[in-house]
């Protein structure tokens, strides 16, 4: 297994915000524009949504939750070469 330098393992950030955080901010701003929220409420919603996303990613395994739970292997799959 090849070892990569740490700067290749880390995701790029801009002022502490990753690409997904910036996408969340953009989505919340578009939603608040569509719903005609007050600018202060929009800023508060952005901050709360970024903190919620960071909390969920840190404390919950979303990949394991979304993967299929199929653990069995059928003989017809083995015959086709699918393992």
Cβ-contact 56, 63 below 8 angstroms: no
Kindly provide the b/e burial profile for residues 35-46, where b requires at least 16 CB atoms within 10 angstroms of the residue's own CB.
eebeeeebeebb
The pLDDT value given to residue 57: 82
- Point out the residues of the chain with pLDDT beneath 50: none
Cα–Cα distance list, 81 to 49, 68, 76, 78 (Å):
45, 20, 9, 5
């Amino acid at each position: 297994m090849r070892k990569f330098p740490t700067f290749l393992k880390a995701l790029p950030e801009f002022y502490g915000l990753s690409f997904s955080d910036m996408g969340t901010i953009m989505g919340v701003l578009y939603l608040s524009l569509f719903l005609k929220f007050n600018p202060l409420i929009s800023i508060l919603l952005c901050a709360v949504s970024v903190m919620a996303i960071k909390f969920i990613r840190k404390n919950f395994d979303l990949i394991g939750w979304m993967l299929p739970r199929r653990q069995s292997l059928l003989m017809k799959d083995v015959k086709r070469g699918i393992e």
